Structure 1
Amino acid sequence: MTKTFIPIPLRASYTLRNANLPACLVKMPEAMLFAPSQEIVKADILIDEGRIAAISPAGTAAPESGPDVDGALLMPGMIDCHAHLDKAHIAPRAPNTNGDFAGAALANNEDRSVRWTAADVRRRMEFGLLSASAHGVVAIRTNLDCHDRQASITLPVFCDLREEWSGRLELQANALLPLQAFLADGAVELVNRVAELEGSIGSVLKAKSSSGSRSVENAREALTRLFRLAAERGLDVDLHVDETDDRDSRMLAEVANIAVQEKFQGTVTCSHCCSLALQPQGVVDRTLDALSAAGISIVCLPTVNMYLQSRAIGRTPTWRGVTLIHEMKARGLRVAVAGDNCRDVFHAYGDHDMLDTFSQAVKILHLDHPFGDWIKTATAAPAEIMRMDGSFGVLAVGRKANLILTRARNYSELHSRPQSDRIVLRNGKPIDTTLPDYRLLDDLMRPLSRNEL
């Protein structure tokens, strides 16, 4: 067991006294704890039989009930609503020589076509789950490439891992197909399989929708069929949209308009949405109006978008690549941040650590001055997107005590150090937070030979 900075009692019932909590994540009458303007509140947290049994003003609990954590910041376990576990950790063996999106797509396709066996995918995905769990992530929605034969390989692996990890880390699948594949008969079989998994379906959308070209009309037709297939099976839709610095790529509004046209009742999530930040204000306003009318949820991937967008060899990037998250939140849209790619061809770094992702998001997206309730973007908001808000994302009596306790006492301290000594509680008990060694994947990292390409 990892040595922790606070001795957590091993008995079934104990109190974490004098903890600091993000006020926006505490679900109880405000008058009991704090004024609505507070960002951090002090409380005693009673944990009994693995659940939060009471949240009381600090100083309420008797000293013998449990340790005084001296203002340590206590948060619910974090949620990654947009990951790519099937791609993760291939960067050492499938280098993206230019570091850009085109190079990433080419390297990923080559690696997938040769290397993504069930054994390979399983080991890399499980490495990611071990890392995420040790960091305090409690739920992940992972995109899964379902091109051609890959669905028959990856989906069974996902099912096995979801069952094995149930109770430790909850998994959802979002099946990705090329958009035009939804016009083919084979899409029905895949969507039926996804329905059996209770997953969601998605695709990657980029287009110059202002031109009215035939290719855009085909995209609208394919996207409409995607929505109809999802609606017939009660599935949610989760799309990669406008992940580009091409300001003429305007598929985000198309998604919203089709969702309204089809009277779609499920949750629609659009991730990336990079090009919106480069478009004229009139286009931005009309797009935000359409998103509001459709009730679209937005996921920003700050680390990956900053890594890929505006990238060119020998040139300093001139923009951060991220979408208009402040303006979207101001319109009442649900917004979240997520980890996206990890040590793969689209993003060479990362460790499946949503606390780190949120901390980077604060700096990249200016989610501070004030910090307000932005922490919801890594907790409550993704829980709602994944329809897990009855179990995760907030601090509430009756919820499982799946928590992160940091030595940091406030947001300034939280975002200034990596919190590598954090305590992760599962059902009220501290888990081993030792991270898996990269050497466990060494035998998978052999570069492809020319004959294998």
Structure 2
Amino acid sequence: MTALPPIPASGSFVLAGARVHSSLTPDLKAQFDGDGFVLADIDVADGRISAIAPATPAEPHAAAIDLKGRIVLPCFVDCHTHIDKGHIWPRSPNPDGSFKGALGANEADRRARWSARDVARRMDFSLRCAYAHGTKALRTHLDSGAPQEEISWPVFEEMRARWKGRIELQASALVGIENVRDAAWFGRLAGRVAVARGVLGSVTYMVPDLDDLLDRMFSVAISLGLDLDFHADETDNVGAISLKRIAEAALRHRFEGKIIVGHCCSLARQPDAEMLDTLDKVARAGMAVVSLPMCNLYLQDRRHDGTTPRWRGVTLLHEMKARGIPVSVASDNTRDPFYAYGDLDMLEVYRMATRILHLDHPVGDWPKAVAATPGRAMGLAGAGVLRAGGPADFIVFKGRSWTELLSRPEPDRIVVRDGRHIDVRPPDYAELDDLMVE
């Protein structure tokens, strides 16, 4: 296929014959095909989309850019990442690929190396990667155990200001649920999160006082007007049911804020009656769930006895979606002890999720899982869709169908922000070499 056509620098142009998806163009009235696509003309003026209409059968106007059926998607929304950890693999690799190995390597690296300068450099590098690949909004979890919270939260605030207008940046505190027992310290952390306009979060597991700790988290979040974000049940242990406990707490407190819960791996191992009860409560509580398929595939069921892993480590997205639970997929970790690979490229995430979770046959509205759905879960009005009057923030790919788009990495995609194409070259890893030496 020929190279993608250039986008003018003026911010005003027409894309003719763009292939757009029904789930990501909610206002477009058209006859979509079986995969949800239709050819459309997209008018851009002064950095915004002025019109989207079904493509006309006649030859495009001479001034239009003829995409010849190439796919155009809105910029991505990545609702679960860890850019404070990102890119430490060269200096602190996971010794055996296990979850325990990841925890140990990360903690040792954090204690020894996570100065404000170190965290800022790696955060900025990560954001440049995400931006080049077409991400418009991103939520990162920040390791917030003492004394790291006094380092990483000011760095986050600096990054958010620096990246304003390019990436809408959010942060959620990340501490083990047992840390909530120290009411005074947790209250100070929550206050710091509130000052930074962040999200209150924790990693939950089946500690004996889990319900009491969740009650404290919900009460503090309500008092400060904070949303909540949890890591839950990142294990194959069928006894890990903290997702259910979170939903019960949300219902108990009649929580009106937004809640995202990530991972929820053990749900796929539980008996049907337990699983269905959990899903009913999650739906009633209005919670959103995000699966991290690449990281979970890497860590879950890793064996050290010469045998092959026997499950995929992902949660029950199809069953959740059938109950109206908003479901997303996201990047999670990038080149750190929890995941040795990745580049914050949401096309890669969706490509891998399609294979791992069978987000096809039919495709349906699964493309929303990397755009509109996480945008709503993060409270971002209008993110992840293409519509007249909205910003001209989109990605032009070479692929003309799902099988073309999801078969190649598409490194030469065109990312358009405010009607102008940006540099899509990700930063060179060599930029971080000085941080990898003692």
Do structure 1's residue 41 and structure 2's residue 21 form an aligned pair?
Answer: no
Instruction: Give the aligned residue type for 1:167.
Output: G
Q: Is 1:9–1:66's contact at 8 Å kept on the other side of the alignment?
A: no
Aligned position for 1:223 = 214
Q: Is 1:304–1:341's contact at 8 Å kept on the other side of the alignment?
A: yes
Q: Is 1:270–1:299's contact at 8 Å kept on the other side of the alignment?
A: yes
Aligned position for 1:268 = 259
Kindly provide the CA deviation profile for residues 260-298 of structure 1, in whole angstroms up to 9, marking residues without a partner as x.
Answer: 001111011110000010111111111111111111100
1:382-421 matches, within 5 Å, as: 382-388=374-380, 390-421=381-412
User: What secondary structure, in the 3-state scheme, does the structure 2 residue paired with 1:45 have?
Assistant: strand
Do structure 1's residue 353 and structure 2's residue 345 form an aligned pair?
Answer: yes
Calculate percent identity across the aligned residue pairs. 45
Call closer, same or farther: CA 1:289–1:12 in 2, change over 3 Å: closer
Aligned position for 2:361 = 369
Q: Is 2:75–2:371's contact at 8 Å kept on the other side of the alignment?
A: yes
| Mapped partners of 2:435, 2:417: distance in 1 | 31
Quote the offset at 1:175 in angstroms.
Answer: 0.8
User: What secondary structure, in the 3-state scheme, does the structure 2 residue paired with 1:64 have?
Assistant: coil
| Mapped partners of 1:340, 1:103: distance in 2 | 17
Quote the offset at 1:27 in angstroms.
Answer: 2.4
| Mapped partners of 1:340, 1:196: distance in 2 | 25
Instruction: Give the aligned residue type for 1:294.
Output: A
Kindly provide the CA deviation profile for residues 131-169 of structure 1, in whole angstroms up to 9, marking residues without a partner as x.
Answer: 000000111000000110101101111111100111111
Aligned position for 1:56 = 53
Instruction: Give the aligned residue type for 1:377.
Output: A
User: What secondary structure, in the 3-state scheme, does the structure 2 residue paired with 1:163 have?
Assistant: helix
Call closer, same or farther: CA 1:259–1:38 in 2, change over 3 Å: same
Aligned position for 1:332 = 324
| Mapped partners of 1:74, 1:446: distance in 2 | 42
Quote the offset at 1:371 in angstroms.
Answer: 0.9
Call closer, same or farther: CA 1:105–1:38 in 2, change over 3 Å: closer
TM-score under structure 1 normalisation?
0.93
Structure 2 gaps, min length 5: none
Kindly provide the CA deviation profile for residues 5-50 of structure 1, in whole angstroms up to 9, marking residues without a partner as x.
Answer: 21112223210000000111112152xx225966001100000011
Aligned position for 2:7 = 8
Quote the offset at 1:170 in angstroms.
Answer: 1.0
Quote the offset at 1:92 in angstroms.
Answer: 0.9
| Mapped partners of 2:3, 2:427: distance in 1 | 18
User: What secondary structure, in the 3-state scheme, does the structure 1 residue paired with 2:251 have?
Assistant: helix
User: What secondary structure, in the 3-state scheme, does the structure 2 residue paired with 1:121 have?
Assistant: helix
| Mapped partners of 1:36, 1:293: distance in 2 | 34
1:44-443 matches, within 5 Å, as: 44-59=41-56, 63-184=61-182, 185-207=184-206, 215-216=207-208, 218-313=209-304, 314-388=306-380, 390-443=381-434
Quote the offset at 1:87 in angstroms.
Answer: 0.3
Q: Is 2:22–2:32's contact at 8 Å kept on the other side of the alignment?
A: no
| Mapped partners of 1:29, 1:418: distance in 2 | 28
Call closer, same or farther: CA 1:165–1:416 in 2, change over 3 Å: same
Quote the offset at 1:181 in angstroms.
Answer: 1.9
User: What secondary structure, in the 3-state scheme, does the structure 2 residue paired with 1:256 have?
Assistant: helix
| Mapped partners of 1:38, 1:28: distance in 2 | 18
Call closer, same or farther: CA 1:48–1:4 in 2, change over 3 Å: farther
Q: Is 1:200–1:236's contact at 8 Å kept on the other side of the alignment?
A: yes
Instruction: Give the aligned residue type for 2:56.
Output: G
User: What secondary structure, in the 3-state scheme, does the structure 1 residue paired with 2:395 have?
Assistant: strand
| Mapped partners of 2:359, 2:235: distance in 1 | 23
Instruction: Give the aligned residue type for 2:99.
Output: F
Instruction: Give the aligned residue type for 1:16.
Output: L
| Mapped partners of 1:391, 1:375: distance in 2 | 15
Instruction: Give the aligned residue type for 1:311.
Output: R
TM-align CA RMSD = 1.5
| Mapped partners of 1:29, 1:170: distance in 2 | 26
Call closer, same or farther: CA 1:36–1:59 in 2, change over 3 Å: closer
Aligned residues: 434
| Mapped partners of 1:4, 1:84: distance in 2 | 34
Instruction: Give the aligned residue type for 1:83.
Output: T
Q: Is 1:231–1:264's contact at 8 Å kept on the other side of the alignment?
A: yes
Q: Is 2:289–2:328's contact at 8 Å kept on the other side of the alignment?
A: yes
Q: Is 1:4–1:423's contact at 8 Å kept on the other side of the alignment?
A: no
- Shifted more, 354-363 versus 391-400: the winner is 391-400
| Mapped partners of 1:106, 1:4: distance in 2 | 46
| Mapped partners of 2:259, 2:121: distance in 1 | 31
Instruction: Give the aligned residue type for 1:54.
Output: A
| Mapped partners of 2:68, 2:14: distance in 1 | 13
Kindly provide the CA deviation profile for residues 194-253 of structure 1, in whole angstroms up to 9, marking residues without a partner as x.
Answer: 11222111111122xxxxxxx42x121111101111111111100000000111111111
Quote the offset at 1:65 in angstroms.
Answer: 3.3
Quote the offset at 1:349 in angstroms.
Answer: 0.4
Q: Is 1:80–1:378's contact at 8 Å kept on the other side of the alignment?
A: yes
Quote the offset at 1:4 in angstroms.
Answer: 6.4
Q: Is 2:200–2:226's contact at 8 Å kept on the other side of the alignment?
A: yes
User: What secondary structure, in the 3-state scheme, does the structure 2 residue paired with 1:203 have?
Assistant: strand
Q: Is 1:236–1:268's contact at 8 Å kept on the other side of the alignment?
A: yes
Instruction: Give the aligned residue type for 2:216.
Output: R
